[in-house]
Structure 1
Amino acid sequence: MKDTYKHFAELSRFEKAERDYRIRTQATSSELLVLAIHGGRIEQGTSEVAIAIAEKQNSYYLFEGMKSAQNRKLHISSSRFDEPTVLFMLKKAQYVLSIHGYKEKKKKHTLIGGLDEERKQQVYNALKKAGFSAEIVNQDHLLSGTHRHNVVNKGRQKKGVQLEISYEERANFFLTKNQYTSSFYRYVAAIQSAFLENDTP
């Protein structure tokens, strides 16, 4: 589906901050930055996953849809997402993890992309060990996250890890809006362990 807006400046002319969308951040001295640029009501559940992975010690950036309907209008593709705050945070980040959601409603699954080949394998191994369905997608996959302009690849290392979590998997994370299942906590712990393996704070 084609994006309504090509870049953030265009979006901000037609959508109002704190009414239609909001930006939430946590900046720490950690080298890890966790992103959910399609958070809130755009790709539901991604904000919660990002915050839980980051905890208190790591940085995070959330761009969240708040509209009562048509939050898909707020979706700007990762390779064109140029909101100034996230670009500033990316300059300081050594490692970048970007959390997304895709529409698959029949299968609990995660697509692993980005340009950090070693860390993608670690994430895959951790998810499989924890009992989750996952795959590392190749470069020609639509959701591969390998474009050099993708925000996940704009940290100091110019490579990161992108997770595309299926709708069915995300739905399995919540009992209610504010209550998480054991699967949510196992998933978050698995991702955290993959990053800790390489001595990331």
Structure 2
Amino acid sequence: MTDTYVNFADLASHETEGIDYQIRIQKKLSPFIALAIHGGGIEVGTSELTIALVENQHSYYLFEGLKSSGNSILHITSTHFDEPKALELVNQADYLVSFHGFTDSVNKHTQIGGKDLELRQKIYESLIANGFSAEILQEPNRLMGGEPSNITNKTRTGRGVQLEISTAQRNAFFGTNTRAGRQKTQTEEFYRYINAIKSVLPN
């Protein structure tokens, strides 16, 4: 999919914050941050996963589509996502998990990438041990997230983990997969997935 906007400044000059999109931030004194730069209606479910992973302990950043339809126009690929608040938070973190979604309505699956080789291996092993389908992507897969320009890897350590979660898997996380429904209908599978990741995060 080709992005409509080349970067955040381009998007902000055409879309209205608070109507078309919103930015939500939680800043904590922690070396870990979770991201959903395609949250809200862009790649549904990624905002809820991000918030659940960090709870009240760590930082998060959400860029969320608010449109009633057509939120894909707000998608800025990870290598071009340069919203200033996001960069500031990520640059101060040592560890990072970025939630994304890919289109597959049949198979429940997670594709794991990013340059943090140790943490991505631990997340992979934990997801598998908890009954989830997952794989670690290798170059040259376009979803691998290994580029230094990818916001996932713009931490102080120069590395992070990118999780690409299929449509089918994200659908299974909610009893009602609507903006309002996702707030109240997280399934047992949602919490099992989050706890699998949480269990291997650095202290």
Q: In the alignment, residue 110 of structure 2 is paired with which amino acid?
A: T
Kindly provide the amino acid, as one letter, of the partner of residue 146 in structure 1.
G
- Structure 1: gaps spanning 5 or more residues: none
Partner of 2:4: 4
Q: 2:142 maps to which residue?
A: 142
Letter in 2 for 1:56: N
The residue aligned with 2:168 is: 168
* Correspondence for 2:190: 184
Question: Which SS does the other structure have where 1:194 is aligned?
Answer: coil
Separation (CA, whole Å) in 1 of partners of 2:104 and 2:148: 26
CA–CA distance in structure 2, aligned partners of residues 139 and 148 of structure 1: 14
Note if 1:39 corresponds to 2:39. yes
Q: Does residue 88 in structure 1 map to residue 94 in structure 2?
A: no
TM-score (norm 2): 0.96
TM superposition outliers: structure 1 runs of 4+ over 3 Å: none
1:22 aligns with 2:22: yes
Secondary structure of the 1:174 match is: coil
Query: What secondary structure is seen at the aligned counterpart in 2 of 1:14?
Result: coil
Distance 1:194 1:27 in 2: 21
| Alignment: residue pair count | 197
Residues in 2 aligned to 1:172 and 1:60: alpha-carbon distance in whole angstroms: 23
Residues 36-72 of structure 1: per-residue CA shift (max 9 Å, x gap): 0000000000000000001100100000000111100
Quick one: which amino acid aligns to residue 48 of structure 1?
E
Q: What pairs with 1:74-153 in structure 2 (closer than 5 Å)?
A: 74-153=74-153
Measure how far apart 1:74 and its partner are.
0.2
Among the aligned pairs, what percent are the same residue? Answer: 49
The 2-side partners of 1:38 and 1:27 are apart by 19
Return the offset for 1:118: 0.9
What SS does structure 2 have at the residue aligned with 1:190? helix
How far apart, in 1, do the equivalents of 2:84 and 2:31 lie? 19
Distance 1:104 1:151 in 2: 24
Query: C-alpha displacement at 1:25, in angstroms?
Result: 0.6
Structure 2, gaps ≥5 residues long: none
How many angstroms does 1:139 deviate by? 1.6
Q: Hey, what's the Cα distance between the residues in 2 that align with 1:149 and 1:96?
A: 15
Q: 1:6: how far off?
A: 0.2
Question: Residues 78-127 of structure 1: CA distance to partner in whole angstroms, max 9, x if unpaired?
Answer: 00000000011012111111000000111000000000111111000000
Q: Give TM-score scaled by structure 1 length.
A: 0.97
Distance 1:21 1:45 in 2: 16
SS at match of 2:159: coil
Residue 5 (structure 1) shift: 0.0
SS of residue paired to 1:146: coil
Aligned mates of 1:75, 1:101 — CA distance in 2: 11
SS at structure 1 position matched to 2:189 = helix
SS in 1 for 2:192: helix
